[in-house]
Amino acid sequence: MTDTTQRAAGAALYRAVWRWHFIAGLVVLPFVLILAVTGAIYLFKDEINNAAHRDLRFVEIRSDTLPASRLTAAALAAHPGTVKAYSPPPAPDRSAEVDILDAGGLRNTVYVDPYDGQVLGTLWDGGAAGSPALYVVRKLHSLEYLGWFGNRLIEAAAGWMVLLVFSGIYLWLPRGRKSVGTLRIKASRGRPWWRDLHAVTGIYTGVFIVFLALTGLPWSGVWGGKFYDAAYALGLGMPDGYWSNTPQSTVPTQEVVDRAPWIMERQPIPASPLPDAGAHAGHLADAPEAATDGNAALPLLDGVIGTVEGLGLVAGYAVTLPAGPTGVFTASVYPDDVTYERVIHLDRYTGAVLYDAGFADLGTLGRWAEWGISVHMGQEWGVPNQIVLLLACVAMVLMCVSAVAMWWKRRPSGALGVPAVPTDWRIPRTLLVMAIAGGVFFPLVGLSMLVLLVIELAVHVITRRRLPAQGAAR
């Protein structure tokens, strides 16, 4: 291949990558904006909830606190129903939280002063988000309002974000043009200014964007499921053996707790062995035939709390009450320091520990995933973690805005302004290799790339056929 041919092939590949970067960027742009804006808000969910609901979440520090049984009784007296979970005060100046399911099927969080048992108020239960408003933000972040399809869209967008960063770096590399490869904004106005803003922002924040995309993928349906299964199969995720001597249910952990370590969410909870007839007489919980109501297990709650705190469960945990005759108490915590995350299941009749696992019990991939998720949520290093990721989210918004501005300024009147299809037949073959590589690591991205490739090939063939026809017409 001559030097001229190599330059021509390189230029054609550059145009092809630019075309795909352009098209993919415009397609995923709305989803990137959703991820960036909602993610930036959710980084500060605790600060937002504390400020918005200070009268419910904070109390005056006094003497000794009341036991959980007294606080849940006070909550039930004010809001009758079935207690589903209890969260002790995470700090001396914080209230206790009692999640109650009312007769109409609505689950509310009742806030109780732990020093005198006064009910401070109630909010619709927002789960791990902590409030109804942040619950909406969380659902928008994952597009769960659209069901499984929304989850797949966000997964594809996250995968494309990774490829957009790498293709953007390829396009940024210097090729003898002053406007390419810049580390600062050189232009003063117009489309060149937006181009420089887009390139400079991307080159400085690309690593953070890739990190956010990759650490968010464990929650996705296809990529996350395959990663989970692979880690489990290799013995590097959630290890086997914890339930070898305990009856096992079919209920996954994620269905009984608001927040559990990601690697444990799909693991089934154990089942409380049913006591023999009459054997329940000495237990604090009701008999099996009366155990369908979660409130029947409340007499054992104080003992459960004493047990898990004696085992070293750190503050900020919640206890989910058992559901059904074979249900279990589940105490779980997901603190800022991921090394203290833990899940403990206890027998609903005796309070005996059936299962106890934490960060140290996970395999290598499981620990990496948990650490990545903790950083992704802005927890691991506190405020500095939040600020860095907030800047990354702002950068994503800037890149979306600058991309739209560049497109708007370059597009011909009445047309989309998509970069022309390269006429070099070697380029589609190169992109096919890229599609296969992308599909191996990001299945949904690979699928969308193949769809785009089919379209590109069709355009290429149609263009090749038109050119001879136009020449003959002349």
Best CA proximity match to 223, nearest among 162, 139, 167: 162
More confident residue, 240 or 104: 104
Tokens, residue 459 = 């355009």
Amino acid 428: pLDDT: 55
For the beta carbon of residue 360, count every other beta carbon within 10 angstroms: 9
Per residue in 175-203, pLDDT tens? 655 545 677 888 778 888 888 899 899 99
pTM: 0.85
Amino acid 278: pLDDT: 47
CB distance 326 to 374 below 8 Å: no
Say how far apart CA 32 and CA 129 lie, in whole Å. Answer: 21
Q: Mean pLDDT of all residues in the chain? A: 83
Say how far apart CA 456 and CA 83 lie, in whole Å. Answer: 58
Burial of 241 per CB tally in 10 Å (0-12, 13-18, 19+) = exposed
More confident residue, 276 or 104: 104
Overall residue count recorded for the chain in this entry:
474
279-288, 294-303, 402-411: range with highest mean pLDDT:
294-303
**CB neighbour list of residue 91: distance below 8 Å, 6 or more residues apart:** 315
Residue type, 186: K
Amino acid 176: pLDDT: 57
Express as a percent the part of the chain with pLDDT over 90: 42
Say how far apart CA 315 and CA 308 lie, in whole Å. Answer: 11
Residue type, 179: S
Q: What is the mean pLDDT of residues 447-468?
A: 70
Q: How far is CA 100 from the centre of its chain?
A: 26
If you count DSSP H runs as helices and E runs as strands, how many of each does the chain have, helices first? 13, 10
Task: Specify which residues 100 forms β-bridges with.
Answer: 83, 108
57-66, 194-203, 283-292: range with highest mean pLDDT:
57-66
Residue type, 331: A
Amino acid 448: pLDDT: 79
Strands (DSSP E) found in 202-315: 248-252, 268-270
Amino acid 32: pLDDT: 93
Q: What is the CA radius of gyration of the chain?
A: 28
